[in-house]
Amino acid sequence: MRKIVTIERFILDNQPAHARGDFTNLLYDIALAAKVIAHQTTRAGLVDILGRAGSVNIQGEQQMKLDVFADDVIFRLCDHTGRLCVMASEEREDIIPIPQEFSKGRYVLVYDPLDGSSNIDVNVSIGTIFSIYRCREWETRGRLEDCLQKGRDLVAAGYILYGSSTMLVYSTGAGVHGFTLDPDVGEFLLSHPDIMIPEPPRYYSVNHSYFGRWTTGVQKYVRWLQGLDDSDVSPLSERYIGSLVADFHRNLLRGGVFLYPAEANKLTGKLRLLYEAAPLGFLVEQAGGYASDGRGPILDIEPVGLHQRVPMFVGNRSLVEKAEAFIREYDMAKEEG
Ligand code: AHM
Ligand code: MG
């Protein structure tokens, strides 16, 4: 019989001997936030019966939109613990300082509280993505520079997937591990230790309706994935949910590539470097895969703004490198010529 390992036990057993517990406890805080958000997401369909976002409920309280609720839960669970020096959230314009009345800690938490928000109202999987960095300087209290660190400097990253079950998947740079929430006992239990992205890959994931807007290199790449135009591979199956965490998670477990490329007239792409691309890039590299902006590793990009966007190709290394090859051959060559 396999041992039952809770996330608390796993984090504790895997913390370095010199750890002071701050980092371990920060991961616990996130796991707790995940449970609170998961509980609320399963009630999302009741909003129409119990009151719409923005309306006032029976107790006279304002109903919160789920993404605002998720943002608030993470903030309120983490602001007073003394473990963080600053936070940043995809939901907020600026950095989130730790209130003066609380002591500050050594870590930076960057998060996308509820990604894939267009899927909330239609009962499709959504997710939370988080990144943890070290504070760059001990003396100061939360600065923008502490949040603008490249993915290569991540201490940990992970996501929570609110799907047919709730899963928390994270890495501290020593492999990727997945936990499934047992809703009856309220514990995350180790279900997917040491995740490695499998070969051969099965899926490619992209929003095809943008085909006409892509550069030639990206169009040729997608046709290559489909096994067309003298492609030397058998076609991959297409799967696209439009919920990044869910699309990423499926490809991580089954093998494949997810892409949200640049468009010929919008070179930045849609996804955010800090909240989406860097943490998932960190995870995929830990699982033996690769993440690129089409030209080089996402993890090496120095952020210049909190909400900076970036094209993204993520999945099995061979597939992502092939995207880079097409972009080099058709797009970069054209730019140079
Ligand atoms: P959001 O941050 O507004 O939720 O948008 C991000 C989402 C991702 O989850 C998903 O991969 C992508 O947007 C889908 O975009 P599109 O509808 O253009 O395919
Ligand atoms: Mg998002």
CA atoms within 13 A on the CB side of 182: 11
Please check the confidence at residue 221 and state whether its pLDDT lies above 90. yes
Residues with CB under 6 A from ligand 1: 115-117, 207, 242-244, 260, 270
Q: Which of 121, 125, 244, 310 to mutate to test the pocket of ligand 1 (most atoms within 8 A of CB)?
A: 244
SS3 77: helix
Cα(282)–Cα(288) distance, rounded to whole angstroms? 10
> What does the pLDDT look like over 192-220, one tens digit per residue?
999 999 999 999 999 999 999 999 999 99
> What does the pLDDT look like over 290-320, one tens digit per residue?
999 999 999 999 999 999 999 999 999 999 9
How many Å lie between the centroid of ligand 2 and the Cα of residue 225?
26
pTM, two decimal places: 0.94
Tokens of 259: 């892409």
Percent of the chain scored above 70 by pLDDT? Answer: 93
**203-336 under CATH 3.40.190.80, yes or no:** yes
Cα(77)–Cα(65) distance, rounded to whole angstroms? 18
Distance of CA 37 to the CA centre of its chain: 16
How many Å lie between the centroid of ligand 2 and the Cα of residue 279?
12
Total residue count of the chain as it appears in this document: 337
**Residue 101: pLDDT band with limits 50, 70, 90:** confident
How far, in Å, are 129, 162, 330 from residue 243 at the CA level? 12, 11, 29
Average pLDDT, stretch 213-233?
Answer: 92
How many Å lie between the centroid of ligand 2 and the Cα of residue 243?
9
Distance of CA 67 to the CA centre of its chain: 15
Sequence-ordered list of residues with C-beta below 8 angstroms from that of 8, at least 6 positions apart, any chain: 28, 31, 187
**Mean pLDDT, the chain, integer:** 90
- Whether the CB-CB separation of 135 and 103 falls below 8 Å is answered with no
The domain limits of the chain are 7-192, 203-336
Which residue has 């010929």 as its token pair?
264
**Residue 48: pLDDT band with limits 50, 70, 90:** low
pLDDT of residue 162: 95
Question: Higher confidence at residue 32 or residue 139?
Answer: 32
Q: Tell me the backbone φ, ψ of residue 296, rounded to 5 degrees.
A: -175, 175
Class of domain 7-192: alpha beta
Phi-psi region of 29 (alpha: psi -120 to 50; beta: other; left: phi over 0): alpha
Give the nearest ligand 1 atom to 117 CA.
4
Please check the confidence at residue 127 and state whether its pLDDT lies above 70. yes
Cα(336)–Cα(263) distance, rounded to whole angstroms? 18
Sequence-ordered list of residues with C-beta below 8 angstroms from that of 161, at least 6 positions apart, any chain: 125, 127, 167, 169, 245, 246, 249
